[in-house]
Copies of this chain bind each other. A is one copy, B any other.
Amino acid sequence: MKVSQTFIPTLREVPTDAQVTSHRLMFRAGLLRRLGNGLFAYLPLGLRAFRKVEQIVREEMNAIGSLEIKPTVVIPGELWKESGRWEGMGEALLKFKNRTNADFVISPTAEEAFTAIVRDELSSYRQLPLSLYQINTKYRDEVRPRYGVMRGREFIMKDAYSFHANDESLDKTYQDMGRAYRQIFRRCGLTVIPVKADSGAMGGSGSEEFMVESEIGDNTLILCKSCDYAANVEKAECKLDFSPRFSAELARGAAASTPPVEKIDTPNVKTIEELCAFLKTDAKTFIKTLIYKAVNVETEKGMLPEKFFAVCIRGDLDINEVKLAAALKAAEAGLASEADVERLTGAPLGFAGPVGLAKELPVIADFSVTAINDGVSGALAKDLHYKHIAYGRDFEAALTADLRTVKAGDRCPLCSGELYEKKGNELGHIFKLGFKYSKSMNVSYLDENGKSHIPTMGCYGIGLDRSLASVIEEHHDDDGIIWPITVAPYHVIIVPIKYDGPVKEAADKLCSELERSGIEVLLDDREERPGVKFKDADLIGIPYRVVIGDKNLGENPKAEVKRRTEKESRLVDLAKAAAELTEKIRAELAS
């Protein structure tokens, strides 16, 4: 392809709104243009790279027997009402009514559509397992889209959904997907951190996120310096620096020698720090108590739209709201308003404590609290605290759980090594869904004996745009992109010093030789100074650059060949250049 015949509007200037490298380079290299806030058009060069990523994803999905289908992007709202996500998904779900007043969503994900398709066709266990995927447009109504296609509103996702008769079958597909994902990212040249977030409960549930390190990542990863433990902070655990007492009775026993609870005046003491100074004690003796509002709480009596809890944790630790919501079986948990706190505790903000609370406000305790048998906490009245509080003796929790936010410096739950933090961006996610959709949407099949069962499900997503942008984040230098050959829009760029006479002939010949052997070539036939062409070649990052100029076209004609990663080029016999490049590129592509 000649540069003059394609459309690669490179820019010297850095777009002002582009805050991250990939966004800047995708614009400067003419891969992408903006259509609106969070809406981008891929131009020819960008689309070629995008399609390479897409094809790698497709090949690896097909290789593990997942079957490609294509549902619509616009999905009837009815299906989302069946699954319960019509209301539960939050505002990022774009809903609309059409002219006939029917409800629709623009798919941000497609559990409902795939479940509906399978529901209508599934009858026998012989049809299981079934793994289906699509590579299709998605829309998330981000309030503040940013970082180019890294967090856009419209994007392309590969999403797969699998259906199984039993956990072993789900686990096999889940493992296959995990391997396929590693293969996909490896082939794209991406270094991912697979983050297991397996709750371990029931043996059935499981989830793994594939992260890339990124300063603009919206995930915090907790990693171990000594082993390969990696977790999203939302789910990270750590080695405990205390010995939890899971039964209240045991805790009560440990408090045998603790003096009785004593009320103390603490005038003008507001923070835990001030209280520690005032009492000359350590934050670790403090029982921090926060009032939380949980939304859509599953209880034995059905779903409660909201419920309040007093959540306790050791004074030096922080509550992890994702863990809390999971422990409460709630859709979400967040701090209650000041008014709610005053109403529920009878005291101003800052004096909540677990002792003497009304029954309507159950105590939820982090395991750390169960180890406190002589602690301090608010006394449910202004400027008053209790000391000598013992868990099990002076109060009990309705539920104890791991609720702490793990931090850098905590110890690894696997090897006791030191944990550290990284910012990460999620590129992919594999997840054992279980019966959530198959149950709510009434999917069933008959087993060998004609008995009806509900299939268990998994779901598996990869963001293609974000993966492509991450390739650029990982592979670039000050001059531009450095494409891995597998996703490069072209393999070779031929730069004739001046596209004329014998140089033109030599360039055209090399171009057609390479193209005949399946190598993708860009030929810079523009009437520009060599410096401009070299700068553009570096910017758009084509893996191999071949310069052809008069001075090397003597008796023994040569071309200057340079990898994008190399500083210096080498002279190669022009007659052998096509064969040599073809061989190298084929080998790299196959590896």
A350 within 8 A of B: no
Q: A143–B99 contact, CB under 8 A?
A: yes
Q: A67–B137 contact, CB under 8 A?
A: no
A100 within 8 A of B: yes
Q: Of the candidates B6, B35, B67, B91, which one forms a contact with A117 in the assembled complex, judged by CB atoms under 8 Å apart?
A: B35
A183 to B34, CA, bound (A): 34
A281 within 8 A of B: no
A 426-446 contacts with B by CB, 8 A: none
Decide yes or no: A6 and B106 within 8 Å by CB, A75-B36, A98-B141 being known contacts.
no
A154 to B98, CA, bound (A): 13
A119 to chain B, nearest CB (A): 11
Q: Of the candidates B42, B106, B117, B121, which one forms a contact with A70 in the assembled complex, judged by CB atoms under 8 Å apart?
A: B42
A132 to B33, CA, bound (A): 14
Q: A35–B100 contact, CB under 8 A?
A: no
Decide yes or no: A67 and B154 within 8 Å by CB, A74-B39, A91-B99, A99-B143 being known contacts.
no
Q: A76–B36 contact, CB under 8 A?
A: yes
A117 to chain B, nearest CB (A): 6
A 66-92 contacts with B by CB, 8 A: 67-76, 78-79, 91-92
Interface code A174-197, partner B: CB below 8 Å = 1, 0 otherwise? 000000000000000000000000
Instruction: Point out the residues of chain B lying under 8 angstroms from A9, CB to CB.
Output: 121
Nearest residue (CB) in B for A144 is: B100
Count copies of this chain in the complex. Answer: 2
Instruction: Point out the residues of chain B lying under 8 angstroms from A71, CB to CB.
Output: 35, 41-42
Interface code A50-74, partner B: CB below 8 Å = 1, 0 otherwise? 1000000000000001011111111
A216 within 8 A of B: no
Q: Of the candidates B7, B69, B137, which one forms a contact with A132 in the assembled complex, judged by CB atoms under 8 Å apart?
A: B7
Instruction: Point out the residues of chain B lying under 8 angstroms from A130, CB to CB.
Output: 7
Interface code A92-104, partner B: CB below 8 Å = 1, 0 otherwise? 1010101110101
A332 to chain B, nearest CB (A): 18
A139 within 8 A of B: yes
Q: B35–A113 contact, CB under 8 A?
A: yes
Instruction: Point out the residues of chain B lying under 8 angstroms from A120, CB to CB.
Output: 33
A92 to B98, CA, bound (A): 9
A 14-51 contacts with B by CB, 8 A: 33, 35-37, 39-44, 47, 50
A153 within 8 A of B: yes
A5 to B64, CA, bound (A): 11
Nearest residue (CB) in B for A102 is: B37
Instruction: Point out the residues of chain B lying under 8 angstroms from A79, CB to CB.
Output: 35-36
Instruction: Point out the residues of chain B lying under 8 angstroms from A91, CB to CB.
Output: 99
Q: B37–A153 contact, CB under 8 A?
A: no
A47 to chain B, nearest CB (A): 5
Instruction: Point out the residues of chain B lying under 8 angstroms from A102, CB to CB.
Output: 37
Instruction: Point out the residues of chain B lying under 8 angstroms from A100, CB to CB.
Output: 143
A139 to B554, CA, bound (A): 60
Instruction: Point out the residues of chain B lying under 8 angstroms from A5, CB to CB.
Output: 65
Nearest residue (CB) in B for A138 is: B73
Nearest residue (CB) in B for A114 is: B41
Instruction: Point out the residues of chain B lying under 8 angstroms from A50, CB to CB.
Output: 70
A94 to chain B, nearest CB (A): 6
Instruction: Point out the residues of chain B lying under 8 angstroms from A94, CB to CB.
Output: 96, 98-99
Instruction: Point out the residues of chain B lying under 8 angstroms from A47, CB to CB.
Output: 68-70
Q: A69–B44 contact, CB under 8 A?
A: yes
Nearest residue (CB) in B for A5 is: B65
Q: B74–A106 contact, CB under 8 A?
A: yes
Decide yes or no: A41 and B113 within 8 Å by CB, A7-B130, A9-B121, A132-B7 being known contacts.
yes
A121 to chain B, nearest CB (A): 5
A102 to B76, CA, bound (A): 22
A261 within 8 A of B: no
Q: A69–B96 contact, CB under 8 A?
A: no
A104 to B40, CA, bound (A): 14
Given contacts A39-B74, A72-B154, A73-B139, 12 further A-B contacts (CB under 8 A): A5-B65, A33-B117, A35-B72, A35-B75, A36-B72, A37-B76, A41-B117, A47-B69, A73-B154, A74-B139, A74-B154, A137-B137
